Amino acid sequence: MALFGSKSPPPGGPALPGRRVLALGAALGETAQAALAGAEIVAGTVEQLDGLGLADCDLVLIDADAWDAAALAAAVKSLSAAKAPPPVLMVGASLPAGLVRNLLRLDHADILEAPFSDEQLSAAMLALLAAVAAPAAGPASDSRCWAVTGAVGGSGATTIAIEIAHALAAADKGRVCLVDLNVADGAASAYLGATPALRLSEFGPAAERIDASMLQAFATPVSDRLDLLAHPRDAAAFDTASREAVLRVLEIACESYDWVILDVPRHRRPWTLEALAGADEVLVISELTVPALLAARALSDEIEDALGTGLKPRIVLNRLASRMFGPAPSMAEAERALQRKAVAGVSSDWEAAAASVNLGGPIAQHRPKSKIVKDIEALVEKLVSEAARRDATRAA
């Protein structure tokens, strides 16, 4: 993996849809909502702390001034005895030493002295969420990054990027991150039935504050070994998400995961070439129509010339169908039009593709017997073994 050129967190509060915050103290609900837009804030009582686990909520926010200090200290102590307690942020103007001592028994806890701003509250909550989400293992040392892009709209780039990421994770090849770089209206989260949580536009130019823990807070878990980084729908995001923020996310993703699969929009952005230059493979997805094949050939040449690193994009022919269904070019005819060999073909299976997007999840999960799944597995195996051979040659 080459490094993505970048350097530079969110001013204001990042939105974290789907996070559940238990707020103890009547005054906290609205403050927390303003600081952590999109999170689900539930008002609770001190008694609820007993035996509370991460399965119940992602974070506990306590206003120490709203409760009797001795009762609160005892409740926090019992929380620290729980198996996997959620992180706790305690706020207040006067925090007794006994209470603080019990708070410090927790693996993840912090204190914020009143008065504080929404930004301070947001930063403290985010840091705790990130600390819990951060992987226990150290960063992946030798990650691989594959970029997938479509020759024409609708050629199947997102579908193939999802299936590749799922296949790598299912084959136990390490931790995998799928990054949907269509920040305006990417479909990966909808296809996977996942909530997108990466609001790049809020980072502005201050991208260097993005670190591994923060990235984990923005990642949506899809399965055990597969996370998704995707931007919530935002028509202006291509203008407001800075080049620095995009490249920084890619750089940190490559440090944090064994595999990073990029779904790259085909129109060039200020960060496109650097993103592609950081990839080990660029896959251009084409369908079997003459305009798509010509576009695939042109796009691969453009990428190869612009990168000038010797990296040759590889073409994947998607939606291979029996010729019975119309005058589509054969694979050999397609390769003649492309003036190069395709690295792989992926069969057409509309039923499986539709079932997957309608149910939310990879085709391999909902239609494991689909030819698409076998073809993607073959493609992944081919690319993995070629990379292993290249590594072995380099090492010799």
Residue ranges binding Mg ion (CB under 5 A): 157-158
Q: Read off the DSSP letter of residue 204.
A: T
Residue 156 binding partner per list ligand ATP, Mg ion, none, with a CB distance cut-off of 5 to 8 Å that depends on partner kind: ligand ATP
Q: Does 6 interact with ligand ATP (rule: CB under 6 A)?
A: no
Closer by beta carbon to Mg ion, 31 or else 149 = 149
Cα 278 from Cα 323, distance rounded (Å): 38
CA-nearest of 239, 238, 311, 225 to 274 is 311
Cα 31 from Cα 35, distance rounded (Å): 6
- Contact 147/279 with Cβ under 8 angstroms? yes
Q: Does 349 interact with ligand ATP (rule: CB under 6 A)?
A: yes
Cα 27 from Cα 21, distance rounded (Å): 14
89 pairs with which residues across the strands?
A: 61, 110
Closer by beta carbon to Mg ion, 73 or else 181 = 181
Q: Is 385 exposed, middle or buried (0-12, 13-18, 19+ CB in 10 A)?
A: exposed
Closer by beta carbon to Mg ion, 157 or else 338 = 157
Q: Look up tokens 């999960």; give the residue.
A: 365
Residue 325 binding partner per list Mg ion, ligand ATP, none, with a CB distance cut-off of 5 to 8 Å that depends on partner kind: none
- x/- contact string, 183-202, with ligand ATP (CB under 6 A)? ----x---------------
Q: Is the Cα dihedral 324, 344, 260, 201 positive or negative?
A: negative
| Closest chain position to Mg ion (CB) | 158
Closer by beta carbon to Mg ion, 102 or else 300 = 300
- Contact 130/14 with Cβ under 8 angstroms? no
Closer by beta carbon to ligand ATP, 72 or else 346 = 346
158 pairs with which residues across the strands?
A: none
Cα 39 from Cα 15, distance rounded (Å): 7
Q: Does 325 interact with ligand ATP (rule: CB under 6 A)?
A: no
Q: How far is the CB of 242 from Mg ion (least distance, A)?
A: 22
Residue 346 binding partner per list Mg ion, ligand ATP, none, with a CB distance cut-off of 5 to 8 Å that depends on partner kind: ligand ATP
Q: Does 370 interact with ligand ATP (rule: CB under 6 A)?
A: no
Extract the tokens encoding 72: 């609160």
Cα 366 from Cα 196, distance rounded (Å): 21
Closer by beta carbon to Mg ion, 158 or else 189 = 158
From candidates 175, 318, 376, 383, binder to ligand ATP by CB under 6 A: 318
329 pairs with which residues across the strands?
A: none
Closer by beta carbon to ligand ATP, 142 or else 351 = 351
Residue 143 binding partner per list Mg ion, ligand ATP, none, with a CB distance cut-off of 5 to 8 Å that depends on partner kind: none
DSSP helix/strand/coil, 388:
helix
- Contact 252/135 with Cβ under 8 angstroms? no
Q: How far is the CB of 303 from ligand ATP (least distance, A)?
A: 16
Closer by beta carbon to Mg ion, 153 or else 205 = 153
From candidates 372, 376, 379, 380, binder to ligand ATP by CB under 6 A: 372
From candidates 31, 242, 272, 348, binder to ligand ATP by CB under 6 A: 348
Q: Does 346 interact with ligand ATP (rule: CB under 6 A)?
A: yes
59 pairs with which residues across the strands?
A: 21
Q: Look up tokens 């693996």; give the residue.
A: 107
Hey, which residues between 127 and 166 contact ligand ATP (CB under 6 A)?
Answer: 150, 153-159
Q: Which residues bind ligand ATP (CB under 6 A)?
A: 150, 153-159, 187, 318-319, 346, 348-350, 353, 357, 372
